[in-house]
Structure 1
Amino acid sequence: MKPKLTHALFLIPFLLLAGCSSSPKQAKNTKSHADMTIDSGSDDLIPVVAALHDQMHTWQGTPYEWGGTEQSGVDCSGFVWRTLKDRFNLPMERITTRELLHMGVRVNKRDLRPGDLVFFRTRAGMHVGFYDTDHNFLHASSSQGVMRSSLDNPYWESAFYQARRLPKEYNAQITMNSDTLHLAKNRR
């Protein structure tokens, strides 16, 4: 087995346990970030998945608020923007779903990778979230707040519009909650 794959497989249980930790702390910008492109073009998607799960752990259940960007209330594009800003360290101004539709390159639904943006046309308008794993995506639902949903759900399946992958120019370092970083560092 390749050393990189062995190292990646060794970290999986600890990253999963980190998602079960209590009282998440605010993300901090430190020099101990794991390097990873948003493009997810490398074979190692574990840092992307871990960052998405870390963000989900922090934000899950946050109520929906149109135009919101805070944990007191957030909309779908606000959640995506905060994830790009907080976890992937992309310095950008607040962005709308329609603006996100023009970022990156379009990818086929069958080629989705963690971190890809997924877009939907709903009765209320355009909706956006992050593809996670196993046909799931993370988003801010207008009825249930920040949550994980299945692309196989008939509602989301019929509303699916397109997916986009951000280019390598949007390269950044992934930030995790300090609890997650601590677990990963102590197991190296």
Structure 2
Amino acid sequence: MSVKHLLLLWVLFTACGMVKRGAIPWEERAKKVEAEKIEESVRPEATISVATMESTALSKDEKKVRSKLDEAFKDWKGVPYLLGGNGYDGVDCSAFLQIVFADYFDVKLPRVTVDQMKVGKSVKKNNIRIGDLVFFKTGRKTMHAGVMINDQQFMHASTSSGVMISALQERYWNDTYLTTRRVL
């Protein structure tokens, strides 16, 4: 193989598929989100959407947090899960939390789930509120994390569906629930 071929292979393997966070133009992303809104509004079946973030009696601060989480969900909804990923081409659960808290709240979180579990203060499950980090033990050595969007649902990067919203009361999440941390 010639140097020219090796150089070409190196460029392909190091450059292809490497989309950094924010590399998708916002106008293009906004059009995609708007199209999804229209598509969801004509769907007859019930779906979990940003509208489920509504809750009664939110404080002014909680409304601000909810607004920022709403914005994050609109920006990241459907981005696929990618272990080690940290951009629109794919993101894992801990990177997703790190990005959301850095970009929308100006709060720095560690990169990995086990370190994120040490940040902030511990919160009992019955005291969970919007913006809290929730952690799950999903396997012998695997953890998962998300951020609460209200007192019952959390936003996360799911291995099966990418960035989405799930209910804490779903059997799987209820059975694997580990702890909650408050950083906001």
TM-score by length of structure 2 reads 0.66
User: What's 1:120 paired with?
Assistant: 136
The alpha-carbon deviation at position 43 of structure 1 amounts to: 3.1
User: What's 2:119 paired with?
Assistant: 103
> Which is bigger in relative contact order (C-alpha 8 A, separation at least 6)?
1
CA distance in 2 between counterparts of 1:85 and 1:73 reads: 17
- 1:85 correspondence with 2:102: yes
- 1:49 correspondence with 2:66: yes
Higher helix residue share: 2
* Structure 1 residue ranges, 4+ long, deviating more than 2 angstroms after superposition: 21-24
Is contact 2:102–2:109 with CA below 8 Å preserved after alignment?
Answer: no
Structure ID, larger Rg: 2
CA distance in 1 between counterparts of 2:75 and 2:159 reads: 18
> Which among 65, 68, 72 is matched to residue 85 of structure 2?
68
- In structure 1, stretches of 5+ residues that fail to align are 1-20, 25-41, 168-188
CA distance in 1 between counterparts of 2:65 and 2:104 reads: 9
Matched residue pairs, number? 129
- In structure 2, stretches of 5+ residues that fail to align are 1-29, 34-57
> Which among 163, 172, 175 is matched to residue 146 of structure 1?
163
TM-score by length of structure 1 reads 0.64
Instruction: Determine helix, strand or coil for the equivalent of 1:87.
Output: helix
Q: What percentage of aligned pairs have identical amino acids? A: 36
CA distance in 2 between counterparts of 1:93 and 1:80 reads: 8
CA distance in 2 between counterparts of 1:166 and 1:118 reads: 11
